[in-house]
Amino acid sequence: MGEFFVSNHPLIQNKMAMLRNKNTCTKEFKEIISEVAMLLCYEATRHIELVPAKVETPIAEADVNVINRGFAIVPILRAGMGMLDGLLTLMPTAKVGFIGLYRDPETLKPVEYYCKLPNGIENMEVFVTDPMLATGGTAVAGIDFIKEKGAKKITFLCILAAPDGVKKLREAHPDVDIYAAAYDEKLNDHGYIVPGLGDAGDRIFGTK
């Protein structure tokens, strides 16, 4: 079973207080989402495998350890885009893919409207971003598409997770690690996380 990691880092908790505050403006909100994503990425990459190598320092040859596998970052559109810069800060050579999903009003099932993933994703370690793991429907569908393209090692990064979303994602994709900055109590009748931080996409892009 994949890991479900909820951060207890003081820097993340302090930033979560600012994200939750309804008076935090769009500019600050966007910057803080990016910072929290970067800090979570630091946690989520702790287990990455290293291989021994040698480099020449100005003085002598040194034994070093390096990462020699490719990374892909796949934001789920549109709110997942808010986390992209934070991850790219720590993994600047990562390839970036995008998945867009909407909910069919009749079947209520997520339908893919855009999917562009990097070539060779099957050999990469993939980090999927979506700030809110609420019902879990989008995360499960997004990861379904990424697995269909052959990806094997997938980590899901979110800012806030709710019990329903974590349960659904872990049932559908037990091999996927989940990293969250905070874990909230429940969803309300509209599917919003409580106490949450509101509509992440609207707050990142200033659309409300």
Q: Which residues are marked as active site?
A: 103, 107, 199, 202
- The strand pair at 98-103 and 125-129 is best described as unpaired
Site size toward ligand URA, by CB under 6 A: 10
Of these, 37, 77, 128, 134, which contacts ligand URA (CB under 6 A)?
134
- Residue 41 phi/psi, 5-degree rounding, is -60, -40
DSSP category for residue 79: G
Is the Cβ of residue 120 or residue 195 nearer to ligand URA in the bound state?
195
Place of tokens 């997942």: 80
User: Does 193 interact with ligand URA (rule: CB under 6 A)?
Assistant: yes
Of these, 28, 31, 164, 199, which contacts ligand URA (CB under 6 A)?
199
**Tokens of residue 172, six digits:** 């559908």
User: Does 80 interact with ligand URA (rule: CB under 6 A)?
Assistant: no
How far, in Å, CA of 109 to CA of 86, rounded? 30
User: Does 118 interact with ligand URA (rule: CB under 6 A)?
Assistant: no
**Cα dist from 35 to 16, 29, 82, 159, 198, whole Å:** 10, 10, 10, 11, 18
Least Å from the CB of residue 192 to ligand URA: 4
Is the Cβ of residue 118 or residue 196 nearer to ligand URA in the bound state?
196
Site residues (vs ligand URA, CB under 6 A): 79, 132, 134, 191-193, 196, 199-201
